[in-house]
Amino acid sequence: MNNGIIANGENFLFLGPELGEKQDAVNRIRVEMTAKHGSPPEETSFYAGDTPAADIISFLLNASLFSSARLILVKNAELLKKKEDAASFAAYLKAPARDATLILISDAVSIDKTIENAVPKSAKHIFWEMFENKKPEWVRSYFRREGFSVDEDAVNAILELVENNTGALRQECSRLALFAGGKNGGKSAITAAEVEKWLSHTRCESAFTLFSALACGNLSKSVEILNALLAAQETSVSIIAGLTWCFRRFRDYCELAARGETSDFELKKIGIATAKGRRDYADAERTFGLNAADVFLDISAEYDLAAREGGAAVESILLHIYLYKLWSLRKRPPARSLKTAIRA
């Protein structure tokens, strides 16, 4: 991305699963546009799949009566895959409205090539998730800047309780720093017990809370959380990605459990540092057994592909079927014999 002031009529394509860095990049463009025009741009967001592509294009082409600059975000851009929709966007990208800056956003790493090829390479950016070995230092650095010390167990607890992107990490670490500073009347050390106490009781619904409900075999709670995520405009890609992350860790847990090595020390080595995390994975093992993790991962890969191909129109239906399919893998108690049933 250019570091200087951006011009009107520019287009960007922001791809990839790292939400925090994408949000930062969008905000930099807001700041640059505000500096150039002396006031914030008129901003509008669309969700591809919810608003017809023709309506978005029409909006882009119609200049604002109230502002000299507009910022238009089109999210879930991977859903712009109908031939006519892709062609319309490609045509617009080659001759954009002079007062509009368009940012196409997707959690996927690529979208329809007709659209991608119409965006200059310099304006296309893929934001990859931070490497696992970089995340602990990110957390430590954040708290150092805020004047807190944080021990290793607390870092592991944060990474276990917070979703796998810097946007969620920044939000939750900011809230944690606020709580810690308020409680202690100033700067202090942050411990794993405080992390679990504050974050596990204050955070919003996420793929992690969905996994917790699923681990207990609680279908009604799982559906309630899924519906809350959909109402909050969480995408199928991010929901399935979050559950997949939990299922990979569940597989690691099951490998330890099969060897009888689920001590706190061994669990910390695979990133399960909190009492809540230990409860969740132990619940999942009791509910689904030691061999369920690979099946979970296979189903998740299948439904991730189906959701990407199906688009917004079937997203909710596919996610509910996906959730039920996961839940149906739970272990069932052996059926009672006819004699037992009659005696009962």
Segment 275-334, tens digit of pLDDT: 788 899 999 999 999 999 999 999 999 998 888 777 666 788 999 999 999 999 998 654
Q: Is there a contact between 313 and 196 (Cβ–Cβ < 8 Å)?
A: no
- 116 and 96 within one domain: yes
Contacts of the segment 248-255: beta carbons below 8 A, 24+ positions apart: 248/293, 248/297, 249/281, 250/281, 250/284, 250/285, 250/292, 250/293, 250/296, 251/293, 251/294, 251/297, 253/281, 253/284, 253/285, 254/285, 254/290, 254/291, 254/292, 254/293
Q: DSSP class of residue 48?
A: B
- 152 and 263 within one domain: no
CA distance 311 to 145: 41
Percent of the chain with pLDDT over 90: 39
- 172 and 108 within one domain: no
Q: Which domain does 171 fall in, by range?
A: 129-203
- pLDDT tens for 91-110 read 999 999 989 999 999 888 88
Establish if 227 belongs to a structural domain: yes
- pLDDT tens for 227-273 read 988 887 788 888 898 899 889 889 999 999 999 998 888 887 787 87
Count of structural domains within the chain: 3
Select from 105, 126, 147 the last residue of a domain.
126
Phi, psi (degrees; rounded to nearest 5) at 46 = -125, 155
- 183 and 111 within one domain: no
Establish if 246 belongs to a structural domain: yes
- 222 and 306 within one domain: yes
CATH number reported for the structural domain that contains residue 258 in this entry: 1.20.272.10
- 223 and 180 within one domain: no
CA distance 74 to 87: 16
- 184 and 286 within one domain: no
Select from 175, 203, 231 the last residue of a domain.
203
Establish if 308 belongs to a structural domain: yes
- 152 and 97 within one domain: no
Establish if 62 belongs to a structural domain: yes
Q: Is the pLDDT of residue 203 over 80?
A: no
Select from 65, 94, 126 the last residue of a domain.
126
